């Protein structure tokens, strides 16, 4: 079973409150999602490996640490995952970005794939699938399956808000994938929206409703 991390740093929880608030308008919503993504990136990169190098300081030569191992790849699920990309790139600017376009059919709630464009060296990278919302888990599962079917093996999932149903679905389908969230909410309503949630993440990020 993949591990589940709840990023409960006070700054993340504070900003998430204003992200949820329906009176927060598009500009502030976008900025807050960006800021929380940076803070969550700090948590999700906590276990990346280091190696020792020698550095000559003006005083002496000493052993220091640098990041080693696989390079990162960010995989935003379109549209709403786009809102988290820049915040993560701020900490890991060398990461490459691949895009997976999915929308949820409003009737069936099943994900429909419409776009996939990945870095050519994607299978060599440690990947972070990003999407603000983990509701039924259908979109995240479809994105992870799309990556695995192309040979990717090192995959984490990062979401702002998750429903228990979505966490369960990903853990069942992809037990090798660790999940990072800022909050676990109560349940899904009859329309597949997370309660209390934040509404429609894509619409709130891009001002489309
Ligand atoms: C939202 C959200 C996730 C998905 C989560 O996208 O950004 O991708 O729903 O729901 P699930 O866990 O039940 O699959 P949406 O389909 O609204 O598309 P959009 O980002 O283009 O608005
Ligand atoms: N997608 C969203 O944007 N919000 C939800 O609550 C569920 C799915």
Which one of 62, 121, 203, 208 is the catalytic residue?
Answer: 203
Dihedral angle of Cα 66, 90, 82, 115, to the nearest 10 degrees = -40
pLDDT at 70: 82
Does residue 209 surpass a pLDDT of 90?
no
pLDDT at 160: 98
pLDDT at 104: 87
Beta-ladder partners of 73: 96, 127
Beta-ladder partners of 106: none
Within 10 angstroms of residue 45's Cβ, the number of other Cβ atoms is 17
Q: Catalytic residue at 125?
A: no
Q: Report pLDDT digits (tens) over 67-93.
A: 997 899 999 999 999 999 999 999 999
* Residue 204, ligand 1, Cβ within 6 A: no
* Residue 133, ligand 1, Cβ within 6 A: yes
What angle separates helix 138-149 from helix 164-173, to the nearest 10 degrees? Answer: 20
What gap in Å lies between CA 63 and CA 43, rounded to an integer?
25
Nearest CA to ligand 1 atom 18: 103
Ordered alpha helix ranges (H), 90-149: 138-149
Is the preceding peptide bond at 2 cis, omega within 30 degrees of 0? no
Q: Report pLDDT digits (tens) over 52-63.
A: 999 999 999 999
Q: What is the b/e burial string over 66-92, where b = at least 16 CB atoms within 10 angstroms of the residue's CB?
A: eeeeeebbbbbbbbbbbbbbebbbebb
Q: What is the pTM of this model?
A: 0.96
């Amino acid at each position: 079973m993949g591990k589940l991390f709840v990023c409960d740093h006070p700054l993340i929880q504070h900003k998430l409150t204003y992200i949820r608030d329906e009176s927060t308008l598009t500009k502030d919503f976008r900025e807050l999602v960006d800021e929380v993504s940076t803070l969550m990136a700090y948590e999700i990169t906590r276990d990346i490996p280091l190696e020792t190098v020698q550095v000559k300081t003006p005083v002496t030569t000493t052993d220091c640490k640098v990041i080693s191992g696989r390079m990162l790849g960010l995989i935003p699920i379109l549209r709403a995952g786009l809102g988290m990309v820049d915040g993560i790139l701020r900490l890991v600017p060398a990461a490459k970005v691949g895009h997976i376009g999915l929308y949820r059919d409003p009737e069936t709630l099943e994900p429909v794939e419409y776009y996939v464009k990945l870095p050519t060296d994607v299978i060599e990278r440690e990947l972070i699938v990003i999407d603000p919302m983990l509701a039924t888990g259908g979109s995240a599962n479809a994105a992870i399956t799309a990556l695995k079917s192309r040979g990717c093996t090192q995959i984490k999932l990062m979401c702002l808000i998750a429903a228990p149903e979505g966490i369960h679905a990903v853990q069942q389908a992809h037990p090798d994938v660790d999940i990072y969230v800022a909050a676990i909410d109560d349940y899904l309503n009859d329309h597949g929206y997370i309660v209390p949630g934040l509404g429609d993440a894509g619409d709130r990020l891009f001002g489309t409703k």
